[in-house]
A and B are shown apart, each in its own frame.
Chain A
Amino acid sequence: DGGITQSPKYLFRKEGQNVTLSCEQNLNHDAMYWYRQDPGQGLRLIYYSQIVNDFQKGDIAEGYSVSREKKESFPLTVTSAQKNPTAFYLCASSVWARNTEAFFGQGTRLTVV
């Protein structure tokens, strides 16, 4: 089945540690996105990528980093510089055309203690 897989579903980390969230898609989509969602809030764009080896900062990129070495994969690293990393993280992908919807993974809930 084609889709987007985020892993793990739940992640606990100690404060000050870097952590990497995985996002893999087998939909052959060019574009991939990372969003952060706080409780009861909307989705805020962290980073997005249109093609391999290229990515752009979104609205809240500080404290995060990404890579796009393969079309299928777009991992997000939450660094120790992110002041409040506890949140729900969603990954999405889409074809390049503007009239097609983005497909989402099931999300990773990160808790930093």
Chain B
Amino acid sequence: AQKITQTQPGMFVQEKEAVTLDCTYDTSDPSYGLFWYKQPSSGEMIFLIYQGSYDQQNATEGRYSLNFQKARKSANLVISASQLGDSAMYFCAMREVIKAAGNKLTFGGGTRVLVKP
């Protein structure tokens, strides 16, 4: 079974508008961490935002915010005021503790975002 699911393979968004990228996850570890990364066409991985499973508040970093719904196992990324430079692949990731195997960091399949001028 997929640990991290991103159901939107691709999205178009108009410049200056907001976009929401979906992410659902599955884990039995009560203390896990959720991350979002951006991958431009160059291939580098850029960390955007983090949410801990025990965090009461939704994480925010500049134009990025995370809509964390723990009961639904959902951690959607919201990008506000989209810019042309936001065009990239976006990945949701989860770090969980696997008994006797340490921290495992697993990624979803990604969502490609294209910002239109």
Contacts and interface: CB of A to CB of B under 8 A. Distances in A.
Contacts of A106: 43-44
A61 interface: no
Dominant secondary structure at the B interface = strand
B91 A56 contact: no
Interface in A45-68: 45, 48, 50, 56, 58-59
Given A56-B98, A106-B43, 7 more contacts: A33-B105, A41-B110, A42-B110, A92-B45, A98-B95, A106-B44, A107-B44
Interface of B: 6, 31-33, 35, 43-45, 47, 50, 52, 91, 93, 95-98, 101-110, 112
Interface of A: 31, 33, 35, 40-45, 48, 50, 56, 58-59, 88, 90, 92, 94, 96, 98-104, 106-107
